Amino acid sequence: MPGPKTWQLMAGAAAVGLAVAAGAVATAGPWDSGQRTAERDRAAAHRRTGGAHHLGAPPAPAPAPSARGVLTALRAPADAPADTVLDQVLAPLLTSPGLGPQPSAAVYDTATGKQLYGQRADTAMTPASTVKIATAVAALSALGPDHRIPTTVVAPATGTELTLVGGGDPTLGKDGLRTLADATARALRARGATTASLAYDLSRYSGPERHPIGPNENIAPVVALMTDEGRTDSSDSGPAPRSWDPAGDTARTFASLLRERGITAGPPRPGRAPRGATELARTLSAPLSDLVERMLTNSDNDLAEALARQTAVAAGRPADFDGAAKAVADRIAALGLPQAATARFADGSGLSRENRVSARLLTLLLARATDPAHPELRPVLTGLPVAGFTGTLRARYGTDSAGTGLVRAKTGTLSGVNALAGTVVDADGHLLTFAFLAADTPGPDAAQRALDRLAERLARCGCRAGAPAPAP
């Protein structure tokens, strides 16, 4: 009979794709792609590569048949965690100076639908990047996990005036541009043409291109056409030097690729695709499920803002910062969750300090993603970084930590603001969602240690009524 720690690891793997063994991850639902593949490879190779690389456009994933049963199974334990025990466990840890003067906390049991613990749980606070959970839920609700973002080339039915039309895919890479150039060159040669003019259309988005925080290595200008998130180095995650003109750079690269294929294109210029234009070429992003996973795992701000704008487009709102924020707010409100009305969304990435979300709402959004009735939201779970393994939690939690491999959580960090929100399987096999938000923190290191200790303590807790609280 497996001991408590072994059962926890088994339960965690079944529930949310825990990366503790290559075989376990390879067979876990709901999708064996994107984050699942990254975790399987990490578990097999024991390389600290972290994150997930989702560039390209693999075949659309389908829900695994076992996904519904996996999550239902974790609702089976009869003895629910007791809020009195959690108070003994968590309240002393929330007094840590690293969490500032008034942190907030919420813990929710997905089996019973009950909030097990709350401290200022309904207080709307700056969530930093944990707001990406709301962005992910909104985008998946609006568009579905199989949605792909197109980038196209169009021209008049009989002309050679090309327009490269951005659809808003920040992950468009050189391979995608080559695909477009190949198809465009073939189409022009079929028309007997070897020269063309080239415009690029950014009209999918509107409003200011720069995030209100200003030029920043954490985010490129938010435009509908860019290559590799406007990065000017070889990175694919984290801060990086960014192009000041990612759309123009992409169009110029496309023109050079056409020249390599025997098509001479003049200097590209901004423009609009003419009405009635014929599509010559198309490339698609990875499915939205993969994009959401990548956004959450790496805390990708460019993808977050893009997905918020895709949500705005789906809602018929202007695809600018204000329209995107309102579209996300509308989607979250439509879920009918308590505290949704008190939330305020100012961007999709969490870089803005004007965002306000409660710990309770974050736990309820995560709990909704565990609901078998909402399989479209499952990438919200599979994209959460795994403690000690992937993404922004790769370097947090040690090999001897009870939270390693069991805690899956979205991090949030701004100057003086630190947050952690995610899922954990406790010692009794209960799948819990949690959120801890802190403001006026003295520094990120102390705050992160305090947040990690809170989540780790949940993983160690056999918190049934009458059970002794775990030792400090």
Given this model, what pLDDT does residue 409 score?
98
Determine the pLDDT at residue 338.
84
Q: Which residues partner with 301 through β-bridges?
A: none
At 197 the three-state DSSP class reads strand
- Name the average pLDDT for the chain: 85
- Tens of pLDDT, residue by residue over 188-232, are 999 999 999 999 999 999 999 999 998 889 999 999 999 999 999
Asked if 410 and 134 touch (Cβ cutoff 8 Å), the reply is no
DSSP 8-state symbol, 472? -
Eight-state DSSP code of residue 167: -
pLDDT surpassing 70 at residue 317: yes
- Which residue in 379, 310, 304 sits closest to 347, CA to CA? 304
Q: Is 349 a catalytic residue?
A: no
The pTM score is: 0.84
Q: Of the listed 96, 299, 349, 401, which one is catalytic?
A: 299
Q: Which of 104, 132, 289, 358 is catalytic?
A: 132
3-state secondary structure of 16: helix
Residue 128 backbone zone (phi > 0: left; psi -120 to 50: alpha; other: beta): left
Neighbouring-strand partners of residue 418: 413, 438
pLDDT at 400: 82
Q: CA separation (Å) from 297 to 14, 37, 189, 386? A: 19, 13, 43, 8
Question: Of 129, 243, 289, 349, which is the active-site residue?
Answer: 129
CA distance 275 to 145: 30
Q: Is 114 a catalytic residue?
A: no
Distance CA 416, CA 28 (A): 38
Report how far apart, in Å, the C-alpha atoms of 282 and of each of 30, 153, 154, 166 are: 29, 6, 9, 11
129 is catalytic: yes
Residue pLDDT, tens place only, 141-183: 999 999 999 999 999 998 899 999 999 999 999 999 999 999 9
CB atoms within 10 A of CB 350: 29
Comparing 344-358, 430-444, 450-464, the range with the smallest average pLDDT is: 450-464
For residue 461, pLDDT over 50 is answered with yes
What does the pLDDT read at residue 94? 97
Provide φ and ψ at 198, rounded to 5°: -140, 125
> Rounded mean pLDDT of 260-285?
96
Check if the beta carbon of residue 312 is closer than 8 Å to that of residue 319: yes
The first and second tokens of residue 75, run together, are 């609702």
Cβ neighbours around 310 below 10 Å, total: 28
Using CA atoms, how far apart are residues 349 and 155, in angstroms rounded to an integer?
Answer: 35
Residue-level pLDDT at 30:
31
Radius of gyration, CA atoms only, the chain: 23
Listed residue (66, 69, 62) closest to 29, CA to CA? 66
Q: d(Cα 307, Cα 314) in Å, to the nearest integer?
A: 10
Domains in the chain: ranges and CATH: 69-145+290-460 (3.40.710.10), 150-285 (3.50.80.20)
Question: Cα–Cα distance between 260 and 390 in angstroms, integer?
Answer: 39
pLDDT digits (tens, 9 = 90+) for 359-389: 999 999 999 999 999 999 999 999 999 999 9
80 confidence band (pLDDT: 50, 70, 90): low
